[in-house]
Amino acid sequence: MSRLQFEAVKDPNYGVVLKYPQGWVFTSFGEKGIWAVRDPDNEVGVIVFIVDDLLQNLGLRKIAQISVLKLFNHYLTDVEVLEEPTDNSGKFEARIKGPDSSYVLFGFLRTSTCFLNNYSIKEPILLAIAYNEQYIGTELEPYIAKVMANLPLLVEKEVSLFGKNVPFKKFDYLSNLTLKDLRWSVELPMNYNLRPDIYGFEAFTDRVYVSIKAYHLFISFEDFVNYRISFLVQDYLKSSKYIVVQSAIEENKAFYHVSDPEDKWRIFGYWNLQSYYNLAKEEMFNMVLEKVAIYPSRIELDFLPIISRIFTSFTTGPYWLYEDIGLLELSLKSTISSPQTTPQKIEPPKHPKPPHKSTAPVRSSRYEQWRQKLRDDMKRLYDWEEKLWESTYSAIKTSDVITGMYSLEDKRRKTKLVYTGNIATPSTHRFWKPKKDAPWHSNIVAATSKFTKPFPKHEWEELKWHWNEEIKRLKREIEKKKKKIDEIL
């Protein structure tokens, strides 16, 4: 057997750099955080997982089944675990038995660390080699041994370019740094590039684009939304055609989820129409708040929670649209029309005259009307956000029911994916974990009927369906934002 040559490929979305023997072919490249590459002529391959909270509960048996399915397209259920990974040693081994042939899975579970500014980002990575058991004792055994010897060196981890596991940072956009006149604020992953202005911002990396901006409306709302979708598709996806995955449009709000014809890229966005009153010109005008994200299709499941956090974290301050609603113009007029005083007239008169009353009450009334209108518009916007994300989470819940893989969380919000095969569901059963296992490192989950508890009850902690809890948290967060609007305005 000649010397083994390796080549490298990088997945910039997840920041994974994978080395593999020359001539091998990929059977999975980053789909759901899994990379699988194999020898095209022999049943030998390497598989890599990024293990997040939703995958930790699969267990070694399920991971072994997925590995053989991804690499060799065989669905086998008879798995014998020969060695489990431990805290001292991340090494593991399993044997997957089939009617015609059996396979061996050998690998490591290790923590990869990458750095962003002064932060270290740690992610658990599972990498393993799988091969046909019949190759042991043949001329292919040294070939497999060489790949196995290089296994710990095959994967390097960099920062994910769409922000997976990247810390968030809050950005405030101020009119005046000294007076701290807040226009808007938002939370973004720390590795995003930010391009802000008075109407919002654009944030981007080499792989994703997120924008929240306000636009003046001079045409019908529906025509504006259609124009923006066509513009985004042509300007960013470089295509004149697109496929509507999901859409909804009403009188003053719209939601679109579209992809390019090859379904390589997707656009996720929604628009909200708001009316404002210009105090200086004494007239109404319309503006549309647009929230848009553009990203590769295959990262959608991992990217949607990041989009949700960015969109819902965007809040406006007292100086939002300060120029457009006429407050700047009124302020300048007030300054210019003020009488110029001389040093001899600095002392106040003994009997000061009351202030002029002709315009102040009218201006105050209009200002209060504008504030009330802004409060109502912002609350309607938050209602629409709540409806949008509740619909998204409900769709993911439906996916859980179809696949029988439920995302459960404990009281510390530790989340794991539990495969039940639809024998037990959160609608028909209650799920529990050992109470003494506070960090939830084990894969032990118990299911009982809806009205019973495991015995003895003090040794178990009840688990909740993650997406149900996410919807509840969403509603609480929206209520907090509505109260904050009342406090600011």
Which architecture, in CATH terms, is 6-157? Sandwich (2.60)
Tokens at 168, concatenated: 């968030």
Structure tokens at 360: 């102040």
pLDDT in tens, the chain (489 residues): 557 889 999 999 999 999 999 999 999 998 888 999 999 999 999 999 987 765 566 778 888 999 999 999 998 889 999 988 877 778 899 999 988 889 999 999 888 888 888 888 888 899 999 999 999 999 999 999 999 999 988 999 999 999 988 999 999 998 776 556 889 999 999 999 999 999 999 999 999 999 999 999 999 999 999 999 999 999 999 888 999 999 999 889 999 999 999 999 999 998 999 988 887 788 889 999 999 999 999 899 889 999 999 999 999 888 888 888 877 666 665 555 555 544 444 455 555 555 554 444 444 576 677 778 778 878 888 887 888 888 888 878 877 887 788 889 998 888 888 888 778 888 888 998 888 888 887 778 888 887 778 877 678 889 998 888 889 889 998 888 888 888 877
Torsions phi, psi for 223 (to 5 deg): -65, -35
Q: What is the CA radius of gyration of the chain?
A: 29
Distance CA 207, CA 166 (A): 15
Largest CA distance in the chain: 111
Tokens of 322: 């300060």
- Residue 368 is encoded by which pair of tokens? 């209060």
Q: Give the start-to-end residue ranges of the domains of the chain.
A: 6-157, 177-327, 400-470
- Do residues 48 and 16 make contact, with C-beta atoms less than 8 angstroms apart? yes
Q: Which of 122, 102, 97 is nearest to 112 (CA)?
A: 122
Write the DSSP string, 256-269: EEEE-TTSSEEEEE
Peptide bond into 152 cis (omega under 30): no
Can you tell me whether residue 330 is helix, strand or coil? Answer: helix
Q: What are phi and psi of 243, to 5 degrees?
A: -110, 130
**Residue 433: both structure tokens together:** 């974990």
Question: CA neighbours within 13 Å on the CB side: how many for 171?
Answer: 20
From residue 330, give the alpha-carbon distance in Å to each of 119, 276, 402: 46, 16, 59
> Mutual orientation of helices 360-403 and 300-313 as an angle, nearest 10°?
160
Q: Please state which CATH class domain 177-327 belongs to.
A: alpha beta
Specify which residues 353 forms β-bridges with: none
CA-based end-to-end distance of the chain:
76
